[in-house]
Structure 1
Amino acid sequence: MGKKFTHLSMMACNQLVAVSHYTASIIPAWIRKSKNISIIPNGIDCQRMDRKLTESVPLNLQGSPILLTVGGVTPRKGQHRVIRALPEIIRSYPQACYHIVGLPIYQKQFEELAIQCGVQEHIVFHGVCPTWEKLTEYYKAADLFMLLSENQKNGDVEGFGIVALEAGFFSLPVIGATGCGIDDAIDDGRSGILVNGDNATEICNAMTKILADKSSFKQRSKVWAEQHDWNIVIEDFIRILPPTKA
């Protein structure tokens, strides 16, 4: 019933806006044929985050490199994919540690997966981050942001991935999964690298490429994020709005 209502609402609109090419692609074909769809990415509040950047200091997190994911601990956010890739990652980076920040919905299941993979000593679950200032400290302490989101059969998908921009604002390169909205949230090869989220070799190779040119990736991550400031993104919305009547 909810999906039907959503589709009827779309048909009643004069203009549709999707936050990514992927999101646009999952709109039913019969709607796409009859409606003009613009693609405008989500934005971030750079001014707000800049204040948090100056107010915080990095945490002393274990690991080298330090891998980080921020978001609800669920299959959609893909923490389990990172865990499955850890055995190969650890072969190249024996001191690597994966830090997971977010609502621990599937934490027990993912802890069991870590034990099965033999990587439980390389994972730390931090739970929910209480404040923006604290979250900033995690971003500043990490070396790589992991966002291997996985589309779910029940329709729970990653439409864009704002957290990739937030990480980038703090000069944190992102390794993201292809096949979802993250394709548009990462400047592939510059702010981060897109990979097959189920391919541990691709993930490990992406890590190596970024860490070998870390300063350039950090700089480009910041630039990419700043290009998505709401003050810039809002101009795209203004351009598609009909002219106001005098």
Structure 2
Amino acid sequence: MSRTLVVTNDFPPRQGGIQTFVAALLATRPAGSLVVLASDHPGAREHDAALPYEVVRAPTGMLLPTRATARTAARLAREHGCRTAFFGAAAPLGALAPGLRRAGVARLVGATHGHETGWVALPGARQAMQRIAGGLDVLTYISRYTHSRLAPALAGRTELVQLSPGVDVDRFSPAADGGPVRERYGLGDAPVVVCVSRLVPRKGQDTLVRGWSQVLARHPRARLLLVGGGPSEAALRKEVRARGLGHSVVLTGGVAPERLPEHYAAGDVFAMPCRTRRAGLDVEGLGMVFLEAAACGLPVVAGTSGGAPETVLEGVTGHVVDPRSPSAVASVLADLLDDPARARAMGAAGRGWVEQRWSWTTIGQTFAALLEP
């Protein structure tokens, strides 16, 4: 059986959206059909021992397209007879493609996520991205938004195919029990708006806090549950205190990935009013949290950044709001809390849409077709 060589800096046990995406993609492939070259990380040995394919760890915490990496990748391709190669993030590791072709790899596929849209906006990085694309047979994109940024800059240098992240619809399910989370944070039976994300300015947790008093004016018992950690945590806690919201806003800090479904399930509405920053360089490529929330049966409120609106069927599974207006965000949240039956119907519609369009079964079929055309 011909194997696929996977070259990726983004791989568990390191946590992050790209790492989760890459690992889930690889889990859709037949056992023994892969060999992975990845960067090292604490806990890697124990993690790799449980996988049904070989993982080779380079002695570095950051895998870059150096000569040493190129030699190792070419050696693995030859030793394992790899006819295909997949780059977990095309920028910058896709620069290794020409050397892998010389090593006998016939088909090269590179994935893009969100950061590549920043690359193509900057002259020097754009040229590097163009060179990478020219060495690949296929470059994947995660959303129509990222395609709209990549396609003009790459100007036909390679084929572009959509390969979005998927959702584990068995883990993220309306059957998840949010009761223990509600009990842990003293939420009781209050209506809860939940946001699951890293605490960084782009995600819009600050907008939720700034508009929360407006929600409380209509729903005094409501609670805002901010799940996750990150650089903005201290500033958010300070803002909560300054606004006198300590009784109704809960920040959980970091949460282990396996416990995320129960945190979604603790909410009645999911909201993350993400906004684009830094003149378009800091943007939401897609937003998996919206799809995970929908899979758990929650109505979703998303911001307008990048590909985030593509995760919502407006008025059917949720709403897209102006992320720079705390008042507009609060009004939409309060309206959903006003009508629990409507909110539940949106959640049910979202669950059905995720099962149909965003499950890993569907995404895995696309991935297989890219590797085995």
With normalisation by structure 1, the TM-score equals 0.84
Of 132, 137, 154 in structure 2, the residue corresponding to residue 9 of structure 1 is: 132
**Correspondence 1:229 to 2:359:** yes
Question: Percent same amino acid at aligned positions?
Answer: 22
- Structure with more relative contact order (C-alpha pairs < 8 Å, separation 6 or more): 1
Cα distance, 1:195 vs structure 2 = 0.5
Moved more, 234-243 or 114-123: 234-243
Of 38, 44, 53 in structure 1, the residue corresponding to residue 167 of structure 2 is: 44
Cα distance, 1:241 vs structure 2 = 6.2
Decide whether the 8 Å contact of 1:22 with 1:179 is kept in 2: no
Q: CA, structure 1 residues 207+33, in 2 after alignment: closer, same or farther (shift >3 Å)?
A: same
Paired letter, 1:232: T
CA distance in 2, matches of 1:160, 1:113: 28
Give 1:94-243 correspondences, 5 Å limit. Answer: 94-130=220-256, 132=258, 134-153=259-278, 155-211=281-337, 212=339, 213-227=342-356, 228-238=358-368, 243=373
Of 186, 191, 194 in structure 2, the residue corresponding to residue 68 of structure 1 is: 194
Counterpart of 2:277 in 1: which secondary structure? Answer: coil
Give 1:50-61 correspondences, 5 Å limit. Answer: 53=175, 56-58=177-179, 59-60=181-182, 61=186
Q: CA, structure 1 residues 106+38, in 2 after alignment: closer, same or farther (shift >3 Å)?
A: same
Decide whether the 8 Å contact of 2:130 with 2:157 is kept in 1: no
Superposed CA offset, 1:77-136 (max 9, x none): 21111112212222222222211111242111112223444434321111111351x322
Q: CA, structure 1 residues 114+7, in 2 after alignment: closer, same or farther (shift >3 Å)?
A: farther
CA distance in 2, matches of 1:188, 1:41: 20
Superposed CA offset, 1:47-106 (max 9, x none): 3445x946x452325273211111111112211111122122222222222111112421
CA distance in 1, matches of 2:292, 2:156: 34
Cα distance, 1:19 vs structure 2 = 0.7
**Gaps in structure 1 of 5+ consecutive residues:** none
Q: CA, structure 1 residues 129+48, in 2 after alignment: closer, same or farther (shift >3 Å)?
A: same
Which structure has the larger Rg over C-alpha atoms? 2
Decide whether the 8 Å contact of 1:41 with 1:184 is kept in 2: no
Cα distance, 1:218 vs structure 2 = 1.8
Moved more, 57-66 or 191-200: 57-66
Superposed CA offset, 1:218-245 (max 9, x none): 21121122121011123344556673xx
CA distance in 2, matches of 1:215, 1:199: 25
Give 1:13-28 correspondences, 5 Å limit. Answer: 13-27=136-150
Decide whether the 8 Å contact of 1:53 with 1:136 is kept in 2: no
Paired letter, 2:299: P
Decide whether the 8 Å contact of 1:192 with 1:210 is kept in 2: no
Q: CA, structure 1 residues 241+123, in 2 after alignment: closer, same or farther (shift >3 Å)?
A: same
CA distance in 2, matches of 1:92, 1:9: 53
Counterpart of 2:170 in 1: which secondary structure? Answer: helix
Paired letter, 1:31: L
CA distance in 2, matches of 1:64, 1:127: 21
Cα distance, 1:179 vs structure 2 = 3.0
How many corresponding residue pairs?
240
Moved more, 229-238 or 78-87: 229-238
Q: CA, structure 1 residues 57+106, in 2 after alignment: closer, same or farther (shift >3 Å)?
A: closer
CA distance in 1, matches of 2:254, 2:319: 27
Paired letter, 1:233: I
